[in-house]
C-alpha cells in the first residue's frame, strides 16, 4: 500500500475517533471487521500517534484558527489537520510540504469549497511557526 492510501485510511479512522471514544486497537479491529479500510504499519502509526498526542496536536492547531475553537471546525478538517500536524511533528521521513499537499488533497476529496484553502493556510502557518 502506498503512503498516500495509508494516510487516507488513517485519516478515516482518526475522523471516526472524533465520534467514538475507542482505543486504537478497537478502531483498527472495527476497520478490519468491516473490511473497507485496510491498515498497514504506517496507517497504524498515524492513528496511534494522533490519538496519543491529540491534546498536544490540537493545542498547536487552535492558535492558528483565529478566534475559532477547534471543536467548532468541521470534524473532517480537524482530522485532516491532526494527521498532517502529527506527521510534521513526529514523522522524520515526511517533509512538511509533502504532508501539507496530502492534507490539501484529502480536503479536496472529503470536503468542499474552501476546505483545501483553509487546510493549506493553517498548515502553512503552522510550519512557519515552528521554524
| Vertex 39 angle, CA 36 and 42, to 5° | 150
Taking alpha carbons only, the member of 71, 69, 91 closest to residue 79 is 71
CATH architecture group of domain 3-130: Orthogonal Bundle (1.10)
Tens digits of residue pLDDT in 15-69: 999 998 888 889 888 888 887 788 889 999 999 999 999 999 999 999 999 888 8
What is the C-alpha to C-alpha distance for residues 20 and 9, in angstroms, rounded to an integer? Answer: 16
pLDDT for 35: 76
Whole-structure pTM over 0.75, yes or no? yes
Amino acid at each position: 500500500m502506498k503512503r498516500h492510501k495509508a494516510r487516507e485510511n488513517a485519516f478515516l479512522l482518526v475522523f471516526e475517533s472524533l465520534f467514538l471514544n475507542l482505543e486504537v486497537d478497537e478502531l483498527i479491529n472495527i476497520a478490519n471487521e468491516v473490511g473497507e479500510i485496510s491498515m498497514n504499519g504506517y496507517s497504524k502509526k498515524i492513528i496511534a500517534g494522533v490519538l496519543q498526542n491529540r491534546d498536544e496536536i490540537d493545542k498547536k492547531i487552535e492558535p492558528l484558527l483565529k478566534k475559532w475553537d477547534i471543536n467548532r471546525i468541521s470534524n473532517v478538517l480537524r482530522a485532516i489537520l491532526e494527521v498532517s500536524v502529527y506527521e510534521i511533528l513526529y514523522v522524520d521521513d515526511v517533509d512538511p510540504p509533502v504532508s501539507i499537499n496530502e492534507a490539501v488533497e484529502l480536503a479536496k476529496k472529503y470536503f468542499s469549497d474552501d476546505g483545501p484553502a483553509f487546510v493549506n493556510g493553517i498548515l502553512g502557518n503552522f510550519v512557519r511557526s515552528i521554524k
